[in-house]
């Protein structure tokens, strides 16, 4: 290229222009080649390590076009004035995360039934996925209903059904004469989880609730009824009971199992180098990993990983904790349409869309 430029100086302005045009095209081709050669999926990518980057093409859908969205998740409709939180995309450090393609996912799931089992964070992710799929095929008929603790969203044209079973503890919560008992060694409700092609479990959010928010009066552990016990110990015991149920009842040739990782809260500003009194209210941008001083994961994360590691059934962990910790801006806060400050759940569109994008990437690439 430098030789061409030198010759052009000898041969006049016409040839000079020709060389610069040639140089420009070569540079464009080189830049294009650099983009094509960015790290790709190579069988060793960790989807869960990376950073949030601004992307003008986001969000993946508009909640005003999702007619069945839960009111408390629709932050824009509830008056949230800022929109920057909608414009962030998760970018893994060592590879490219495929962009969510709802039509492609529907083709791959044709004739299949998916079941989310867990608390309101499962509702958050399930609701996100229903809106994402509806946005991909907005003209298709859909059916959505709720009967008791089971919600169903289906797209008959694609033969795809997404169900949500509200079950905060996974193990049994039983009403008896003495009161409501959380039975850490019992999982009779597991019979409702059979016959699905994809199971996505979640639990933790309710294990630490006390006082009026505690939904049980007693805990039954190893045959003994107690008024209370260490909640992390109780969680591990209950999750171990769940793991034994999965190992004994899931046929991995027909059913794939996921565990939705622990979703963090943002009630303490010290975690992101702010004041201790700060919460998610007024947060408009993600934190960066370098300033997330209190970024150690909740103790439940280690418990989940230990239990999964000891299972004979392969369970894919959607390890969303770290990437979600950075999104102090992603909660409804005071924009739920209800009283209070919600720094636990997530606005939609928002962070749970990325959880589903990661689910899509794993299902379509085989990466875990």
What residues act catalytically?
Answer: 120, 342, 345
Residues near 350 by beta carbon (within 8 Å), at least 6 away in sequence: 59, 75, 85, 86, 128, 327, 330
Rounded CA-CA distance 233/240 in Å is 11
Tell which residue, 252, 247, 236, has the closest CA to residue 306: 236
Distances (CA, A) of 99 to 10, 92, 126, 323: 50, 12, 18, 17
Provide the 10 A C-beta neighbour count for residue 363: 17
Provide the 10 A C-beta neighbour count for residue 26: 12
Q: Please say whether the beta carbons of 69 and 144 come within 8 A.
A: no
Tell which residue, 277, 258, 271, has the closest CA to residue 199: 258
């Amino acid at each position: 290229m430098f030789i061409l430029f030198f010759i052009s100086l000898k041969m006049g302005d016409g040839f000079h222009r020709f060389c610069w045009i040639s140089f420009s095209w070569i540079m464009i081709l080189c830049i294009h080649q650099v983009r094509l050669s960015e790290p790709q999926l190579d069988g060793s990518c960790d989807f869960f390590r990376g950073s949030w980057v601004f992307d003008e093409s986001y969000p993946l859908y508009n909640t005003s076009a999702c007619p069945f969205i839960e009111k408390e998740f629709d932050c824009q409709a509830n008056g949230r004035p800022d929109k920057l939180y909608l414009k962030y995309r998760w970018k893994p450090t060592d590879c490219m995360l495929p962009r969510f393609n709802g039509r492609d996912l529907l083709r791959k799931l044709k004739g299949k039934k998916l079941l989310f089992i867990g608390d309101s964070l499962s509702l958050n992710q399930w609701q996100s996925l229903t809106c994402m799929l509806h946005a991909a095929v907005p003209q298709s008929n859909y059916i959505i209903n709720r009967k008791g603790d089971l919600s169903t969203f289906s797209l008959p044209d694609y033969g795809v059904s997404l169900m949500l079973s509200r079950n905060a503890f996974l193990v049994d919560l039983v009403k008896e004469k003495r009161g409501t008992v959380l039975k850490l060694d019992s999982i009779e409700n597991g019979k409702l989880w059979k016959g699905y092609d994809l199971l996505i479990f979640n639990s933790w959010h309710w294990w630490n609730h006390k006082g009026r928010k505690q939904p049980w009066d007693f805990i039954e552990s190893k045959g003994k009824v107690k008024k209370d016990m260490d909640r992390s110990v109780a969680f591990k015991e209950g999750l171990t009971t769940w793991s034994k149920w999965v190992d004994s009842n899931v046929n991995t040739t027909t059913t794939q199992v996921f565990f939705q990782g622990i979703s963090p809260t943002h009630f303490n500003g010290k975690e992101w180098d702010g004041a201790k009194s700060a919460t998610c209210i007024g947060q408009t941008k993600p934190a960066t990993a370098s300033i997330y001083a209190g970024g150690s994961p909740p103790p439940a994360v280690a418990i989940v990983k230990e239990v999964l590691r000891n299972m004979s059934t392969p369970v894919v962990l959607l390890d969303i904790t770290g990437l979600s910790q950075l999104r102090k801006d992603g909660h409804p806060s005071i924009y739920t349409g209800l009283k209070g400050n919600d720094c636990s759940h997530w606005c939609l569109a928002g962070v749970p869309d990325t959880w589903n994008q990661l689910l899509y990437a794993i299902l379509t690439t085989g990466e875990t």
